[in-house]
Amino acid sequence: MHTYQVQSGKKITLKDWDPADLSLWDKGKKEGIKETEKLVKELQVLQEKIYAQQKHRILVVIQGMDTSGKDGAIRHVFGLLNPQGVFVKNFKVPTAVEIAHDYLWRVHAHVPGNGEIVLFNRSHYEDVLVVRVHNLVPRTVWQKRYDHINQFERMLADEGTTLFKFFLHISKDEQKERLQARLDDPLKHWKFNVGDLEERKVWDEYTTAYNHVLSRTSTEWAPWIIVPSNRKWYRNLVIAKILVEKLGKMDIKFPDPQSDLKDIKID
Amino acid sequence: MHTYQVQSGKKITLKDWDPADLSLWDKGKKEGIKETEKLVKELQVLQEKIYAQQKHRILVVIQGMDTSGKDGAIRHVFGLLNPQGVFVKNFKVPTAVEIAHDYLWRVHAHVPGNGEIVLFNRSHYEDVLVVRVHNLVPRTVWQKRYDHINQFERMLADEGTTLFKFFLHISKDEQKERLQARLDDPLKHWKFNVGDLEERKVWDEYTTAYNHVLSRTSTEWAPWIIVPSNRKWYRNLVIAKILVEKLGKMDIKFPDPQSDLKDIKID
């Protein structure tokens, strides 16, 4: 069975990974959506325990090309969790103050504390992706960042954070269809950003940059998962399934009560 | 001439370092204080340029046993700089929210941005000092932190931060005198903390912990300076001298004006 996990230290290229793969599910879309709903319910229970236990810190990094479904995955997989313990942080173009600091500064500020699940919609990986593709800093600067990032994530893991990193993998044709759909449907016009067309022109450069990210920063403590994302329902199913499976193996449980509750009498 | 810098990778022990050493200055205390005043004036000019240039980020870490003079060094060496570009961050006992995150989280939040000088009065090093001496986390946890810290400081350096790390070195006898002085002088009573006596009981354990810190985290990009601090005036002189010398070698200058000012006419 395919786990979609990039082996640590292995050099990979995205052209070997099928964005339309469906090998984890052979019962079709309708049953797949039902399965995801079931998994999301399990995730709700797990998250409630994580919040109550105040022990684990869960960081979920979501990366992918424009239109790959980062927002959709967040809405469908995490949308029903208790917002009290789940936080989404969108990393956009850095502000002047952010640019005046190292690139991990704004990211570190938002990592999860005990009992929290934090979703990064884009992340520090943009500092070796868009920054590289558009030459925003010299090569000598961004080249050192793979090591920084591995070490940063290692520190987080050593100190008690569990990391999930999902790359939402779509084909260039699929992107074309999704951009066209945004043009054709007035209700989707707000999502259409002319800048996306400029980024589409450098699709190959982004693919190269992602090949390096996935090859150099998939580690034992923070492996990358390449999620086949041409089908939205399958993308959600894979993310939910991997989360439930891995969290299910962790020591996640309601904490013991503070004292023996049977002796307590409420007058 | 002694530079007081710990060589990267070298195992040192503080008993080989004389806290009463005066070898950088042979003209006595009175002239030494005058020299420090001169150096502080040079530091003021350098800091004004750093602030104007908005390019360099200067991080000064100050560590030392209780009564070693951390507050005094900050007041005397940095007290006359422009507070607009100079910030002091005191790291005290972590709050509940800080404890719920990795130990570098609260530290990273305060690193300098462009044009800033930030002084850490205590720092992330407490997480391998007090934490170790008082067994606040298991050995398996704090042992990994030397590498984290080196890598964190390396990232800061790669991204443009210049680091100074000063260990203020006093003898146990000198600490006794300073604590006694705080007891004897009503104006110093506010500084007397009975907790300091408890910490004094584990002086040797702190010395061992510092020996490891100084041996394992003095790197090419962030070397430790062991400042002989039994004499306060000499401590200030050494810190000011090292700062002025190192900053003087950097590309610190007022930035070019935005356009040719001689063509500008103010009506």
Q: Does B124 touch chain A (CB under 8 A)?
A: no
- Per the model's pLDDT, the better-predicted residue between B211 and B261 turns out to be B211
Residue A2 — very low, low, confident or very high, per pLDDT cuts 50/70/90? Answer: low
Place of tokens 């999502």: A191
Between chains, do B161 and A115 touch, taking CB under 8 Å as contact?
no
The most distant pair of C-alpha atoms in chain B lies apart, rounded to whole Å, by: 71
Handedness of CA A234, A235, A236, A239 (dihedral sign): positive
- Alpha-carbon distance B163 to nearest alpha carbon in chain A (angstroms): 14
Task: Let me know: does A170 contact A67? Beta carbons within 8 Å.
Answer: yes
Between chains, do B151 and A156 touch, taking CB under 8 Å as contact?
no
Q: CA-nearest residue of chain B to A151? A: B151
| Element spanning B141, H or E | helix B139-142
Residue B263 lies in a domain: no
Counting residues of chain B whose pLDDT is more than 70, the rounded percentage is 99
Mean per-residue pLDDT for B43-52? 97
- Alpha-carbon distance A177 to nearest alpha carbon in chain B (angstroms): 39
Residue A3 — very low, low, confident or very high, per pLDDT cuts 50/70/90? Answer: confident
A250-259 own/partner pairs: CB under 8 Å, 24+ apart = A250/A56, A250/A162, A251/A55, A252/A46, A252/A49, A252/A50, A252/A53, A252/A56, A253/A49, A253/A53, A254/A49, A254/A52, A254/A53, A255/A52, A255/A53, A255/A54, A255/A55
Mean per-residue pLDDT for B118-125? 98
Query: Mean pLDDT in chain A?
Result: 96
pLDDT of residue B236: 98
Between chains, do A113 and B97 touch, taking CB under 8 Å as contact?
yes
Which among B111, B115, B151 has the least Cβ separation from residue A151?
Answer: B151
Structural domain for A34, as ranges? 14-248
In three-state secondary structure terms, A245 is helix
Query: How far is the CA of A68 from the CAs of A63, A176, A177, in angstroms?
Result: 9, 11, 11
| End-to-end CA gap in chain A | 58
Please classify residue A264 by burial: count the beta carbons closer than 10 Å to its beta carbon, then call 0-12 exposed, 13-18 middle and 19+ buried.
Answer: exposed
Between chains, do A158 and B151 touch, taking CB under 8 Å as contact?
no
Residue A6 lies in a domain: no
Residue B158 lies in a domain: yes
Residue A260 — very low, low, confident or very high, per pLDDT cuts 50/70/90? Answer: confident
B-chain CB neighbours of A141 within 8 Å are 158-159
Between chains, do B161 and A102 touch, taking CB under 8 Å as contact?
yes
Q: Does B156 touch chain A (CB under 8 A)?
A: yes
Residue B1 — very low, low, confident or very high, per pLDDT cuts 50/70/90? Answer: very low
pLDDT of residue B261: 82
Q: For residue A78, what are its two tokens?
A: 């995490």
Task: Let me know: does A228 contact A234? Beta carbons within 8 Å.
Answer: yes
Residue A254 lies in a domain: no
pLDDT of residue A1: 45
Calculated CA dihedral for residues B114, B115, B120, B124, nearest 10 degrees:
10
Could you give the CA distance from residue A117 to residue A60 in angstroms, rounded to a whole number? 7
A-chain CB neighbours of B144 within 8 Å are 158
Residue B218 lies in a domain: yes
- Alpha-carbon distance B214 to nearest alpha carbon in chain A (angstroms): 20
pLDDT of residue B151: 98
Mean per-residue pLDDT for B155-173? 98
Lowest pLDDT segment from A36-50, A217-231, A253-267, B236-250: A253-267
Pick from B209, B260, B252: which is nearest to B117 by CA? B252
Residue B253 lies in a domain: no
Counting residues of chain A whose pLDDT is more than 90, the rounded percentage is 92
Task: Let me know: does B182 contact B189? Beta carbons within 8 Å.
Answer: yes
- Residues 6 or more apart whose Cβ sits within 8 Å of residue A165: A60, A61, A63, A217, A218, A222, A223, A224, A225
Residue type, B132: R
Q: CA-nearest residue of chain A to B55? A: A100
Task: Let me know: does A223 contact A150? Beta carbons within 8 Å.
Answer: no
On the question of pLDDT at B263 being above 90, the answer is no
Backbone phi, psi, residue A250, to 5°: -90, 165
- Per the model's pLDDT, the better-predicted residue between B228 and A258 turns out to be B228
Check which CATH number belongs to the domain holding A108 and give it. 3.40.50.300
Between chains, do A109 and B104 touch, taking CB under 8 Å as contact?
no
Residue B196 lies in a domain: yes
Q: Does B111 touch chain A (CB under 8 A)?
A: yes
Could you give the CA distance from residue A167 to residue A218 in angstroms, rounded to a whole number? 11
A186-205, pLDDT tens digit by residue?
Answer: 999 998 988 999 999 999 99
A-chain CB neighbours of B222 within 8 Å are none
Which among A105, A113, A144 has the least Cβ separation from residue B108?
Answer: A105
Could you give the CA distance from residue A10 to residue A121 in angstroms, rounded to a whole number? 25
A219-238, pLDDT tens digit by residue?
Answer: 999 999 999 999 999 999 99
Q: For residue A140, what are its two tokens?
A: 């000598």
pLDDT of residue B3: 82
Task: Let me know: does A169 contact A228? Beta carbons within 8 Å.
Answer: yes
Could you give the CA distance from residue A256 to residue A202 in angstroms, rounded to a whole number? 54
- Alpha-carbon distance A55 to nearest alpha carbon in chain B (angstroms): 8
Lowest pLDDT segment from B61-65, B164-168, B184-188, B215-219: B184-188
What's the number of domains chain B is made of? 1
Mean per-residue pLDDT for A65-86? 95
B69 backbone φψ class: left, alpha, beta (φ>0; ψ -120 to 50): left
Between chains, do A114 and B108 touch, taking CB under 8 Å as contact?
no
Question: Within 10 Å of residue B260's Cβ, how many Cβ atoms?
Answer: 8
Q: CA-nearest residue of chain B to A144? A: B158
Residue B7 lies in a domain: no
Residue B2 — very low, low, confident or very high, per pLDDT cuts 50/70/90? Answer: low
- Alpha-carbon distance A191 to nearest alpha carbon in chain B (angstroms): 33
